[in-house]
Amino acid sequence: MELCLKELKKELAGEIIGHSIHHFQEIGSTNDEAFSLGMEGAPEGTVVVANSQSAGKGRLQRSWFSPPQANIYTSVILRPEFNPADAPRITIMAGLAAAQTIETYCPRKARIKWPNDVLLDGKKVCGILAQMQTNEDKIDFVILGIGINVNISADEFPAEIKNTATSIAAQTAAFHSRQDLLITLYKNLSKWYKTLTSTGFEMIREEWLKMASLIGCETQVKFGNEIIKGKALGIDERGALVMSDSKGKTVKILAGDASILKEN
């Protein structure tokens, strides 16, 4: 079913996120559009949402599978007044909001893989691409691009992600309203963003850890050509992954692709 903008606007009136909605049938990438809007001065909480993307972007220069009619592709503009070094907190916050949204459809099944992939049954159902624009050492804006596989069936995924991707429909054997899911997502984002900017990161960190998949496991993190192996211990006050390496030394990692080598 198509999104109903009128209902979306009614449901989101008064929320921090979603008060201004830019909707497209097809677009290159909602992140690119949101980035242009951010540069033009669009206010915090403006969102871009599309029915399909012809050039959906993933983390680490990957592409994001974005067929029409089935899934959610949205980007949110935020203008937090904190140090750029603390920006990873925002991606952790977004992962928590997305995971809790997905969990309403799949109770007790959603897990977050650092930094912010959401997994169902060990497979990726949601990815988040954060892009930041700074100005004289301050955050001008952050774009949070969120892709959720909602109603796509398992056999529709391209061969290269067939074994690693899933959708809410594939896990629940039912189709779901993208409109309702989007409203829940924006409301959860509003709630946790308000917590982050008013009371700080600690409560978000605690809730995130309850849903985290890597903690206590032998883990590998790849960033470019570098590979770090060790036991994942948690995340620190900035959202960095804390690991104990093979020599027992504590290391903190701000970006990368994590995978479990051995469950605890």
CB 101 within 8 A of CB 182: no
Residue of 59, 111, 187, 231 interacting with ligand BTN (CB under 6 A): 59
CA–CA distance, 118 with 177 (Å, rounded to integer): 19
Instruction: Establish if 210 lies at the interface with ligand BTN (CB under 6 A).
Output: no
Q: Which stretch binds ligand BTN (CB under 6 A): 71-79, 167-175, 197-205, 214-222?
A: 71-79
Residue of 35, 73, 186, 201 interacting with ligand BTN (CB under 6 A): 73
The distance of Cα 153 from the centroid of its chain, to the nearest Å, equals: 21
Q: Which is nearer to ligand BTN, 51 or 171 (CB)?
A: 51
Residue of 35, 64, 105, 141 interacting with ligand BTN (CB under 6 A): 64
How many Cα atoms occupy the beta-carbon half-sphere of 96 within 13 Å?
25
Q: Which is nearer to ligand BTN, 62 or 194 (CB)?
A: 62
Q: Which is nearer to ligand BTN, 18 or 147 (CB)?
A: 147
Binders of ligand BTN: how many residues, by CB under 6 A?
20
Q: What is 97-149 written as a DSSP string?
A: HHHHHHHTTSTTTEEEETTTEEEETTEEEEEEEEEEEEETTEEEEEEEEEEE-
Say which residue the tokens 């990726």 belong to: 124
Q: Which stretch binds ligand BTN (CB under 6 A): 68-76, 150-158, 184-192, 251-259?
A: 68-76
Q: Residues 111 to 140: which contact ligand BTN by CB under 6 A? A: 117, 127-129
Q: What is 145-160 written as a DSSP string?
A: EEEE--S--GGGS-GG
In this structure, what DSSP letter does residue 43 have?
A: P
CA–CA distance, 151 with 189 (Å, rounded to integer): 22
Q: Least distance in Å: CB of 194 to ligand BTN? A: 22
Q: Which is nearer to ligand BTN, 92 or 231 (CB)?
A: 92
CA–CA distance, 253 with 264 (Å, rounded to integer): 20
CB 92 within 8 A of CB 235: yes
Q: Which stretch binds ligand BTN (CB under 6 A): 9-17, 37-45, 145-153, 249-257?
A: 145-153
Instruction: Establish if 80 lies at the interface with ligand BTN (CB under 6 A).
Output: no
Q: Least distance in Å: CB of 145 to ligand BTN? A: 3
Say which residue the tokens 């009371």 belong to: 199
Instruction: Establish if 58 lies at the interface with ligand BTN (CB under 6 A).
Output: yes
Tell me which residues touch ligand BTN (CB under 6 A): 29-31, 53, 56-59, 62, 64, 73-75, 117, 127-129, 145-147
